[in-house]
Amino acid sequence: MAVRSSMWLEYQIEANWTSPVIFILYNTLKPVGGSLLLLAMYYVVTGGFLGGESLYFLYIGNAFYMLVAQTLFNVGWIIHDDREHYQTMKYIYISPLSYFMYLMGRSAMRFLLSLLPLSVLIFLGVFLKIPYHIEVLLLLGTFFLGWIFVISSGLLLSGINMLTARHGNSVGQAFSGIFYLFSGVVFPINVLPGWASKAALGMPSTYWFSLVRRSVLGKEVDSIMSGFTTGEVAVRLIIISVLFFVISYLTFRLADYLARKKGILDMTTTY
């Protein structure tokens, strides 16, 4: 019930303010822009050639990254918006609906809504002649694990937001940059300096993006990640995701406690 109503709220805020056409346009312009940016980079380096493994790698990685980025972009606002804009945080907080479940519901809805631009990008990939080789079951499992990963990140971010000021920029967007750089999204992780590619192996997102490539392209080209079988990647992802969720959850709880202790649940911090 709690989750349902917060999902409904997210839908109202994010989708129900305009016509479906504008909604789709508005939600796909950003991801499409991001993909075009990468394609242009590829284009200038190869001297006008758009094809090859590296291109498919970065195109698919970037498309699925949008799922992470868009969800976090929105989740990054929830706390600050509820607290300082609508000033409803304290009312939601004292309602029987747990704030945790509320956040879960809102991020779940956003995740679902972000599937739309993702499918647009996958469709556009056909024009790039991306050799799709979709393993449906694996892809479904990947979506589910991805969702766990994204809501864990959202929870961690929300915990931090409870204690920090509202800055101008979207903190969610900045936060997702960590995953963009350290998870082999648009380039293989062996390009990173040694310490960073080791760190990448500790991130759930690295395994998730590997699963994405395996389920959409039917293979893994990242030289480090292809050392693992699909099963190994999945198991590692599950273990690290569970750990990540627990850490995020505990952080959120701690932040929640500290916020009440410091009396900053309803602070306003604009400047």
Partner 1 sequence: MTQKGLRRVLPSQRVDAIACEHVDRIFESKNRTVQALNDVTITVKKGELFGLLGPNGAGKTTLIKILTTLLLPTSGKAHVYGYDVTRDENKIRPIINMVSGGEYSGYGLLTVRENLWMFSQFYGIPGKEANQRIKTLMERLGIANMGDRKIRTLSTGERQRVSIIRAFMTEPQVVFLDEPTLGLDVETARLIRRFIQEWLEKDSERTVLLTTHYMMEADELCSRIAIINEGKIVALDTPSGLKNMVKKEISLNIEIFPEIKVDWLNNLDGVIGFNSKDAGGNLSLRVVVEHDAAVGEVLAGINQHGGKISYLNKEEPTLEDVFLKLTGRGLE
Partner 2 sequence: MNVMLNLRALKGRAYPRMIGAVREPSWMFWETFLPILSMAAYVYVYRSLDAPKEFEGFVILGGVMTTYWMNVLWGMASQLYWEKETANLQLYLAAPMSKMSILAGMALGGMFSTSVRCISIIVMGVIIFKVDFVVTNAGLLLGIFGVTLVALYGMGMVFASLFLMWGREAWHLNMIMEEPIYFLSGYSFPVKALGSLSLFATVIPFTLGLDAMRQLTFPSMATQWGLVSPHLELVILLVMSIILLYLARVSLDRMERMGRSKGTLTMRWQ
Applying CB under 8 A, the residues found at the interface with partner 2 are 17, 26, 29-34, 36-38, 40-46, 54, 58, 73, 77, 84-86, 164-165, 167-171, 173-178, 180-182, 185-188, 191-192, 268-271
Residue number, 40 or 165, with CB nearest to partner 1: 165
Return the exposure string of 62-81: e unless at least 16 CB atoms fall within 10 Å of the residue's CB, then b: bbbbbbbbbbbbbbbbbbbb
Work out whether 191 is an interface residue with partner 1 (CB under 8 A): no
**Which position among 84, 138, 170, 265 is part of the footprint of partner 1 (CB under 8 A)?**
84
- Least distance to partner 2 from the beta carbon of 184, Å? 10
Among the residue ranges 139-147, 198-206, 239-247, 262-270, the one whose residues contact partner 1 (CB under 8 A): 262-270
Q: Are 10 and 110 in contact (CB under 8 A)?
A: yes
What six digits make up the tokens of 101?
């479940």
Cβ nearer to partner 1, comparing 12 with 269:
269
Least distance in angstroms from the C-beta of 269 to partner 1: 5
CB of 110 to partner 1, least distance (A): 27
Q: Which of partner 2, partner 1, none has residue 72 at its interface (CB below 5 to 8 Å by kind)?
A: none
Rule CB under 8 A: choose which of 140, 165, 235, 243 binds partner 1: 165
201 touches partner 1 (CB under 8 A) = no
Choosing among partner 2, partner 1, none, which partner's interface includes residue 185 (Cβ < 5 to 8 Å by kind)?
partner 2
> In whole angstroms, what is the distance from residue 35 CA to residue 39 CA?
6
Q: 94 is in the binding site of which of partner 1, partner 2, none (Cβ under 5 to 8 A by kind)? A: none
For residues 211 and 145, is the Cβ–Cβ distance under 8 A? yes
Contacts of 222 (CB under 8 A, 6+ apart): 57, 184, 188, 189, 190, 210, 213
Residues 24-63 that bind partner 1 (CB under 8 A): none
Q: Which of partner 1, partner 2, none lies near 12, with the C-beta cut-off 5 to 8 A by kind?
A: none
How many other CB atoms sit within 10 Å of the CB of residue 230? 15
Residue 100: contacted member of partner 2, partner 1, none (CB under 5 to 8 Å, by partner type): none
**Least CB distance from residue 175 to partner 2, whole Å?**
6
Q: How far is the CB of 77 from partner 2 (least distance, A)?
A: 7
* Phi-psi group of 47: left, alpha or beta (phi > 0 → left; psi -120 to 50 → alpha; rest → beta): left
Q: Which residues bind partner 1 (CB under 8 A)?
A: 84, 165, 267-271
